[in-house]
Structure 1
Amino acid sequence: MVPYTATLDVDQATVWHLSALLNAERQRRGTRTGTRALTCYKQAVLVVRWLRDGTAIDALARDNRIFRATGYRYVNEGIDVLADQAPDLHQVLEHARTTPDDPLILDGKLFVSDRCSEPGPTGRSDLWYSGHKHRHGGNIQFLSDARGEPLWVSDVEPGSTPDITAARRHVFPLVHKATAEEVAVPANPRLRRCGSRRTHPDQTSARGRRASRACR
């Protein structure tokens, strides 16, 4: 083993913020002081290393002198407390209502993974393999602001699922439901498909599909 020194290119305030979220979660669970292998701050650094640098769990566990299983659990806890801070769809649509000049952008991304495999409907293809990206992974749709900052993300679909199919399953029905529940949004929410003109969710044209493919 060769020891070395490394520096994370992350603002210190980010780590302290995550540390505070982890501390609040431990208090909510009633975790007793001194019963965890790492402090909230050290756990926050571990989580940020995994998110920012993609450091292997084995390396994170070894560096912190914890078991690999504990490393996985600590990373999952960090992801959960961060996910709890994400806005729900109603809040995103309210944001769109109050900022009409800042349209929502709908796009999809394949998140690569090497731990997923399942026969497809025909039995001859892999459900989690994207023929477009030539990689295994999950398709996640998201709404972002005009700057590209993610505001809301959908549940994961297998990598073989086309973007438009995933959007029809996870995005369009929720937008319609939110509107039906009298959420204070315009009658025609401004959704822009990446690279296409502004369009109502129902208006999925060949032009929009071509623009979506160009973005990827």
Structure 2
Amino acid sequence: DTHVILDGTLIPTTRIAATTIKTKGTNRGTTVHLWYSGKHRSFGGNIQFLANAEGFPLWVSPVLPGSRNDLSAARDLGIVGALTAAAAAGLRTLADRAYHSAGIGILTPFKKAAGQPPLATDHHSYNLLHSQLRCLGERAAAMLKTRWSALRRITLCPKRIGTIVQAALVLTHHEHHGRY
């Protein structure tokens, strides 16, 4: 393969009892729900995954609380270090804007900074090509979440989400007879 695709997804859950103290941002020091994702405005677990260039899921992470953003989740799980090492061997990683500044070899779209002029034509073209290649990573998450109804809403303890998603990945690989 020429590259892999890194992305994260939220697996919804109905169990929401855990809380934590916010350590960053404007509301620092306030109590927040650990499993609540402000981005998705929903409760769930953050799962990171890698897909091949065709959009087939290769690997899924253990679960982290939905309040964790994708970049910090990838760093804490050791994914960034492993993908940076893989880049040294020639395997690039495509990721979305959530992974901006993740590391060498993890390619993300260019961002337009506030108050700056619009992106240059070459940056705009790069972003277009990048999104056309990376969008297949969304297919990997969709393949798991739509094929396995157990992933549509977890009613067990949210800490079990990772195990359930990993089982779905194994079953998906079995279903496709190792063609990917």
TM-score, scaled to structure 2: 0.47
* Greater per-residue helix proportion: 1
TM-score, scaled to structure 1: 0.40
Using CA pairs under 8 Å that are at least 6 residues apart, name the structure with larger relative contact order, 1 or 2. 2
Bigger Rg, which one = 1
